[in-house]
Amino acid sequence: MALDVVAVFTNLAQHGPNHQPCATMAAMTTHDLPASARFATLAVHAGNATDAETGAIRRPITMANSYALPYDPTEMGWSSADGNLYTRNGGANQHYLEAKLAALHGGEGAVVLASGVAALSATFFSLLRAGDHVVFSNVTYIAAYRLLNELFNGKFGVETTIVDATDPAAVAEAIRPNTKLVHIETPGNPTVSVNDIAAIAALAHQAGALLVVDNTFASPYNQRPLELGADLVIESLTKYINGHGDSLGGGIVGRQDLLAPIRAQGQVNLGGSISPFAAWLIMRGSVTLPLRMRQHNESGLAVAGYLEGLDRVRFVTYPGLPSHPQHDVAARQMSPGYGGMIAFGLDGDKDVHNRFVSNLRVITSAVSLGHDESLIVFLGPDDERQHLYPAAYHQGFFRFSVGLEDTADLIEDIDQALARL
């Protein structure tokens, strides 16, 4: 596999810069990995290379916001994302991480931005215009809902329809002649519902629309939507891919013809660029993605199964359990596992749920997910989107991100917190 992320820079290099950045650019050659390289090998090597200046076998952090101009800068577009010009238009560490993300998803390329929401905004902003119609799922990250259902719909004349995307027939029914894009999330945040990617991709394509899949809950280790027909995949890199809870980032992966406008418009002109340090941290965290996901998968399944057997637990949603309403779809499109995200509710009111959380000693009450540590958040019955979810969720429920602690300690923590209710 040729992972030459810097092909885009040859343009600038050929122009002959006036004070020697050529040497640095030439140094950015990547490992020439065999085309057969597998996921774990890509997680280690993709996007990394030996630094020609120092011989370091780790690419450095380039904390520069500006790069040397060529002899005749008038040949460059100031809004171009094609070369090293200004870090908002693209930077070295961003491009290394893009190479890895593209490799992990089997995409032609990737655009990496400051957050998952920056990736969502850049995608919608770049691909939609007034008069277009978007179909999106009832279960999405809150900012996707706000962007589509309030900003694009209310301010920019983009029509939107919310559907229960667990039912492909509902998606088919919602599609109109002006449908430009279908946006789904699977497993979905926060209910952990599952959508059939291949079926929805086929429906979108029949109508000449694009399918965008937010893959954050699965990570590319468990699910690669491009292989199932999706046009673009979005990842909040903040979550599993970084995995250590110390950075924000977002990525879009797919075909270059779709990424080009996202880079040119969304990245350069919305300006949600990632800091080189954040990109470096995520690059570093992502090396252990396969190892971490193996544990998240194992503990997620074990803890979900345990919860399901408890009297005080009203319901559990985990794609790996046969009781999950879309377990068959999950089994078809997720492999080797189902991740560490669980939704569950207790028998009891809001106060019972809050007391349970305050009794926990190992599991931390905080937003975000996919970290090394287990995180739980209570989504109360008053949540404005509760009515979009199935009835079981209306009483309030937990979104639980099972971390990398010893599974027995997590189970004991749940037991003691329930016992002290």
Applying CB under 6 A, the residues found at the interface with ligand PLP are 115-117, 141, 185, 189, 214, 216-217, 236, 238-239, 248, 250
Q: Which is nearer to ligand PLP, 170 or 377 (CB)?
A: 377
| Residue 135, φ and ψ in degrees, nearest 5 | -105, 125
Least distance CB 88 / ligand PLP (angstroms): 18
Least distance CB 248 / ligand PLP (angstroms): 5
Q: How far is the CA of 226 from the CAs of 220, 332, 349, 384, in angstroms?
A: 10, 15, 41, 32
Q: Angle at CA 81, nearest 5°, toward 78 and 85?
A: 60
Q: Which is nearer to ligand PLP, 236 or 317 (CB)?
A: 236
What is the spatial distance between Cα 300 and Cα 266, in angstroms, rounded to a whole number? 35
Least distance CB 274 / ligand PLP (angstroms): 10
Q: Which is nearer to ligand PLP, 171 or 237 (CB)?
A: 237
Q: Are strands 210-214 and 232-236 parallel, antiparallel or unpaired?
A: parallel
Q: Give the DSSP per-residue string, 257-282.
A: HHHHHIIIIIIIII--PPPHHHHHHH
Least distance CB 237 / ligand PLP (angstroms): 7
Q: Which is nearer to ligand PLP, 141 or 378 (CB)?
A: 141
* Helix boundaries (H) for 91-213: 92-105, 116-127, 142-146, 153-154, 168-174, 197-206
214 given a catalytic annotation: yes
Position with the least CB separation from ligand PLP: 116
Exactly one of 67, 86, 96, 141 is catalytic; which is it? 141
141 given a catalytic annotation: yes
Exactly one of 59, 88, 100, 399 is catalytic; which is it? 88
Q: How far is the CA of 271 from the CAs of 15, 188, 197, 235, 390, in angstroms?
A: 26, 27, 30, 18, 37
What is the spatial distance between Cα 58 and Cα 173, in angstroms, rounded to a whole number? 51
| Residue 162, φ and ψ in degrees, nearest 5 | -95, 130
Q: Which is nearer to ligand PLP, 118 or 307 (CB)?
A: 118
86 given a catalytic annotation: no
Least distance CB 190 / ligand PLP (angstroms): 8
Exactly one of 214, 318, 338, 393 is catalytic; which is it? 214
314 given a catalytic annotation: no
- Return the active site residues: 88, 141, 214, 239
